Structures are given as structure tokens and as C-alpha cells.
Structure 1
């Protein structure tokens, strides 16, 4: 059973989200007296498709991220399919709602592929066609489970993640000089990149940080890599991150 204990050490945070979200969150947290450094580790590049698949009929469209919504909207030129729409998280739901002007369904609490698959509307999908909006690569778990439930599934991969070049010899040293004691992580890919750019001699320090994420899967992955202090957030949206650190404080799990 998980136990949450309020810690007395004031958070000094590394915000690893994509730009401009990292800068926005760090700026707001600093304004509230929570020291934060914006350090995007990956950048987004558009992937253009010569032929859009949005002209095909779909019963269900699932958006994995805000980037998937933004770049898909740019490429489909307001020709969104007449379908039922789903999103993995609250921020993606909000953005997609503004694009399609209709309801978007999300998991009740577990904002992940697993949470999405638990929704009653996605249990029986015989002869249903599903379009998943996402970036290049990633897990096949959602697609595989939808197929097992009877659906035919297509991807629309409108962007890709590209590593930002950072110095392995100096980057972690700068963070240590700033007394960073926590990091906000929004994906396993970002966590892997954080480890990759940290020199071997700084790995022990890195794994002493408290990791904050809104996914149990990310935190379990981190624990398996040697991180011992992890915190499950309700959401990774900008405002809820700010609310968490300014209103509730930070928590350590043991």
C-alpha cells in the first residue's frame, strides 16, 4: 500500500516538459516562490503526410497528447471525422474540445492507455474503426488491446520527438549547483533522455531526486531504474502542476 508523507524540504524543481510548457510552468512556480528551472530535453518537429487519412470514416478517434491534437488539426484543415472522441488526459481533452466543438471522453482517474481502456464505451469494439493521433513511435499497447476487442486501428503520426543536445559533462553539475532536488517528468522517453544526458559520476545524485509524474507506469519504470523517491500527481497540466506545488506542497512516497 502506498503511503504519502509530507516532506519539509522545499522543492527546487527541474521542469523537463516540452517547450513552451516547461518555461510557462517554471515561470509561474518561480513567481510563487518555488525555485524552478525550465529544461526541455526533447523538441517537437512536425511530420508532414503527403496524403491525409482524415478523409476516411472512423467510429472513434483517440488523441494521445496535446501535440497530437495541434499538429493533426494543422494538417487536417478542419476536416475532423464525424466520430466519438477520446483523450488520454485533461489537457488533451480541453484542447481537442476546442478544435472539434463536441464532447471528448477521458478516463475517470488513471490518465493513461490503461485508464482509457477501462472506459465502458471501449469494451466491445467489433467492426469499429479507430484512429489514434500520436507522435512517431511509442507503445503499441493501446492499439493491440483495441484490436483484441474487435476494432481495426490506424495511426496518424503528425510529429516526432527529437533530442536537444546538452553537455553530459556540465549539465548535471549546473543543476547540482542550483540545489535541484526534484524533477517533473511527463513521459518515459523524457526520463530516459534525462538519464542519458547525465554523466556516469552524477547518476547517483540524479537518482536521489524526487520524481513527480502523473502516471504510475512512469514511476514504476523510474523505481526499477533505481529512483527511490516518487510522487504520483493527479495531472501534468500546467495549472494543476502549479496548484500542487503552491497549494499542497510536495510529497514523498515510501
Structure 2
């Protein structure tokens, strides 16, 4: 079996090692490039005034890593009294590792890996008048901002990076698809759209989405996106999140 991993390093190698241990052959081709954005004066002000926020929500491991690098310039010691929240255990681990002063058990992590799961956390049930800093990449869904605002919180966004198709790996991706992988790992809706953009002009889109490959996705929302692009429903496998354990468990169920 050939399994295409679309994550960037070091996460790609970690998943590859777990799959290789199960005798599954892997090929890693990143489909997303993360480009840090230049901070505006307003963004720097939000970092310097971190102590004014009641909660800080960190959307991804990339956001956690970049936030820690910026805070190192402004806060030799983190302000107290902030509720730290991360989507996914990988993001929480990155935040704890990079900041140093936080342990993983001091960071709120939802059971799921999407915005809806985050909004179920007890810390966000009574937020009227609270000030929340949302640390994220450019674009993406608006569920967190909208839901917290409706509950009476004041939400400020801190955008630290852009997501772009990793076009420098397009030819490698084309070669993998020509070899017809049995599994394709997709981390998000953006990852899937980037993959299609990288294959554009090289392979017919219809042949890609109608192939016999199984597509492993982290949520029903991402599955719906694939269905809207004519990927057959029986070929989309929804995992319980994007972790290595969730992906391995879903493959084991199938096999």
C-alpha cells in the first residue's frame, strides 16, 4: 500500500514512522506553505498588551510557534491570569514547549479538533464582557469569532501567517498521483484545495477526485468539501481528528 502524506515536516516524518511500523509504504509531499506575515503596528500593540486579555486562543501549531517567537521579544515572563486555549493536543504541546512557562495541563484543549468543539469548552460558556485574543493564520472560518461575539465577548484577531499552495513540490505531487496511491491524508479544507491547485495543468481534476484512493480527513466538514468536488462518499474516511493515532485507528478499521 502507498500512503501519501501531505503534511509538512516534522509532522510528516512522525506520521510516516507510525505508518511504516504497520508495513504501510509512505510518500510525503507537503501541499501547504506557511509564510509568516510582517506585523503591523496594531499587531505589535496586541502582543505588547497581552495582559489585557482574559483568554488567548491559538488555532494551530504554526500559530503557537510564531506566537512564542514574538512573545519572547515582549514578555520575558508571561502575564498571569490568562486562560490559554489550543485547538488540538499538537497545538497545545507546541505552545507549552515553545513558551516554556506553561505546561500542557494549563492549556484548555477541546475533545474535537474544529471550531465547534472549541466552543463547547466550559471556559467559553459565560464570556459576556471578556476580552479574547484569537491567534491564527490569514483567512479560515469565522465560527470562533462569530460565536464568541454573539455570547458577548470582545474578540481581537492576531494574524501571524499565510497559507499558500507549496508549488515548489507540484512536480513531486504529480508523480505520486501518477503512481496511484491507495491513501491520501488531508489535514484541512485548505490542504485539499492546495493539492488541487498544485495538480492543475498536470493531471485532469476529474481523474484525481474519481480515483480509487481513500482520502483520510479530520472532520465531517472537510469530508463535505471533498464531496462537493465529486470525491465519492465511500472513498472519504473521516478520522476522529488529525492526530497520528486517529489516522492509524481509521486505517485499521478499514483493513
Q: CA contact under 8 A between 1:54 and 1:81: conserved in structure 2?
A: no
Check the 8 A contact 2:30/2:169 in 1, yes or no. Answer: no
Q: Unpaired segments of 5 or more residues in structure 1? A: 1-10
Give CA-to-partner distance per residue, 1:144-175, whole Å, 9 cap, x none.
1111110111111112222222587x656522
Q: TM-score, normalised by structure 1?
A: 0.82
Unaligned 5+ runs, structure 2: none
The TM-score normalised by the length of structure 2 is 0.82
Structure-to-structure mapping, 1:198-209, within 5 angstroms? 198=199, 199=202, 201-208=204-211, 209=213
Does 1:41 find its partner at 2:31? yes
Distance in 1 (CA, whole Å) between partners of 2:92 and 2:217 is 18
Moved more, 147-156 or 93-102: 93-102
Contact 2:68 2:95 in 1 (8 A): no
- Please name the residue that 1:63 is paired with: 58
Q: Which residue of 2 aligns with 1:4?
A: none
Contact 2:209 2:230 in 1 (8 A): no
1:71 is paired with a residue of what secondary structure?
Answer: helix
Single out whichever of 193-202 and 209-218 deviates more from structure 2.
Answer: 193-202
Coordinate RMSD, CA, aligned:
2.5
Q: 1:20 to 1:86 in 2, by over 3 A?
A: same
How do residues 93-242 of structure 1 correspond to structure 2 at under 5 angstroms?
A: 93-98=92-97, 99=99, 100-102=101-103, 103-108=106-111, 110-165=112-167, 174-198=175-199, 199=202, 201-208=204-211, 209-228=213-232, 229-238=235-244, 240=245
Structure 1 residues 70 and 172: CA distance shift in structure 2, 3 A:
closer
Q: Deviations over 1:6-25 (max 9, x none)?
A: xxxxx421111123322442
Spell out structure 1 runs of 4+ moving beyond 6 A: none
**Structure number with higher relative contact order (C-alpha < 8 Å, ≥ 6 residues apart):** 1
Question: How far, CA to CA, are the matches of 2:69 and 2:210 in structure 1?
Answer: 39
**Counterpart in 2 of 1:72?**
67
Q: Contact (CA 8 Å) 2:165, 2:198: kept in 1 or not? A: no
